[in-house]
Amino acid sequence: MPADNTVHIGVLLPDLLGTYGDRGNAAILAQRLRWRGQPAQVVEVPAGSPIPDSCDAYVLGGGEDVAEDEAVRALRESPFPRAVERGAVVLAICAGMHLLGRWRADRDGRRHEALGLLDLTTRPREQRATGEITTRPAHEHLGIDETLTGFENHGSATELGPSATPLARVVSGEGNGDGSEGVFTGQIVGTYLHGPVLARNPGLADYLLSRATGLALPPLPMAEVDELRRTTRELAQSGTSGMSRLRSLVTPSRWTQPGL
């Protein structure tokens, strides 16, 4: 971390990779640090702006195919790959995960080269995957034993290569398309879960923060979040009857201070 002890969280190309509000994940990371007395700063880097290589963590969100190709070009010519090589933590959602892979195929069969930072490839699905998804973490290294939930909305299927492993296993929903969900390297977490994913899965947020800071973070006592997660899981698994209530539950009206 920088000498001033502030944790810097970069939101990369939010104007290209901001279709589903995934930039909110950076705000969640920063807020969970501040609740623990740790200073944090969110650095938004729109297209055309210099991308810093000094952030402790980076967030890449979802976007459409054309935007994804433009993002690949911008990131390839930036210091971002060097930041990943030195160990910066990355949360990559949907298209953000695709562009870290080896290539993406479009519906005409053309391959679009990606950054090659992850051993995965992406192809179009026959039917779009849209709806609530529930998964179980596939790695004890995450240090969390909780269901990971989110909302998926993608027309792609992702195949992991031999050197890549999934983040989770699907309980309900589609994920990568083969029973797995996302990708996990320890340093990089890729997933199809929107929500934002870290608002719905605070354990995953704290894993990323611990990895970025090198600190063992004290728990945050938030009984209301635990109750919200329990209700969300139940409604997500109840089918369409619970969807309208679920949408209202996962849209917070305000931030609250833990314990107050």
Active site amino acids: 94, 194
Q: Are strands 168-172 and 180-181 parallel, antiparallel or unpaired?
A: antiparallel
Amino acid type, 174: E
Question: How many Cβ atoms are within 10 Å of 4's Cβ, its own excluded?
Answer: 8
